Structure 1
């Protein structure tokens, strides 16, 4: 429920294509929480402007401003939203569910995301991948292996922590979609990374991606510059 120019309680500062901003947008849209969209232009370094640094001195998105409070770090914002707007829970309703969701979030954050973000996504985005194609192919193999726990979990339940969408799914989805996007680039295909069809290699993950792409709010949160 992205409300441009309105006076809502929440203001979201974001950059199109940032997986971390996308996580928070998905949470807001899925929960049906109204917010004012404050899209920043990375090309103009708006996230480095003094007004934004006053909200987050690290100069990174997302930032959620609610009244006089500004929160940053995407998972912390999702946790805040779940407490502030509990009608559509993302962090479980029982102690066991709560722990399970946080387990999955941490599994993705600690053992999965950085491998393909640092070793595959960034080199491809920054034009450095062709410097060492063999190292890139080795990283791609490690990425598929790192996604193995998700494949196993999703062969048991339709979503990562339960039979419905939780914060674990919302945290993982944008980073995996970014991996798929860069893996479809001609240079990635020419290097033989083999990541352009993750769903074919990891069928349970592929089915999960298809389900997630139909979740409430997915289209509204989709990075606008990816549509062009």
Structure 2
């Protein structure tokens, strides 16, 4: 089966799918879109996803969007390296972890911390940002607890739960390293200092198969140039 993946560098949702492809070793044709040129709003792309968001996976005449749905599809199509487990109990446990991250953790990062920092509004209310940073640590508590008893979020192996969570947390860390975040003392740039189990998990995940291949290319080029905008 031929796959075409449409993505934007730095999108944590596209990154999830790229990690799944690379970890499983499934080849795909890469179509990187330029959001600055509004390529994700072009008529051709909107025909694939009327919401104008990435990632989108095209297989033949069919298009699939929403990152977790794509990962689930990929796992069913290529089960040799399972991401959603094999036994029913394991499958349910992984979906539980995915849902916990999506429903109770991710939005706090994205809405209250990352977006204000990226859009230049964070310093409008530093106290609110510091309060959100404190809540972020609370929201990560269940992950710290889970990772204190197992190397990965749903047990002894990398699963969809880890692949779903990793890009958003890396985005949080990157945004929290911006000068204005440091100035406001958000304290989120080094999560491992307060959450050692999470920090150890991040180190393990950065060594996972396919991590380097899926890493956002413009993040890498910005780092080499000495600049690290969190976009």
TM-score, normalised with respect to structure 2 = 0.95
CA distance in 2, matches of 1:98, 1:67: 28
Unaligned runs of at least 5 residues, structure 1? 1-7
Unaligned runs of at least 5 residues, structure 2? 222-231
Q: Which residue of the other structure, out of 62, 80, 84, is the alignment partner of 1:87?
A: 80
Matching of residues 8-157 of structure 1 within 5 Å: 9-157=2-150
Superposed CA RMSD in Å reads: 0.6
What residue is the counterpart of 1:160 in the other structure? 153
CA distance in 1, matches of 2:92, 2:47: 34
Render the CA deviation track for 1:94-132: whole Å, top value 9, x for unaligned. Answer: 000000000000000000000111000000000000000
CA distance in 1, matches of 2:58, 2:68: 15
CA distance in 1, matches of 2:169, 2:32: 22
CA distance in 1, matches of 2:59, 2:148: 39
What residue is the counterpart of 2:180 in the other structure? 187
Render the CA deviation track for 1:165-213: whole Å, top value 9, x for unaligned. Answer: 0000000000000000000111001001011110111000000000000
Q: Which residue of the other structure, out of 205, 209, 217, is the alignment partner of 1:212?
A: 205
Runs (4+) of structure 1 exceeding 4 A deviation are none
SS across alignment from 2:149:
coil
CA distance in 2, matches of 1:227, 1:171: 21
CA distance in 2, matches of 1:116, 1:217: 25
TM-score, normalised with respect to structure 1 = 0.96
CA distance in 2, matches of 1:125, 1:28: 28
How big is the shift at 1:162? Answer: 1.4
What residue is the counterpart of 1:177 in the other structure? 170
Aligned residues: 221
Q: Which residue of the other structure, out of 199, 209, 226, is the alignment partner of 2:219?
A: 226
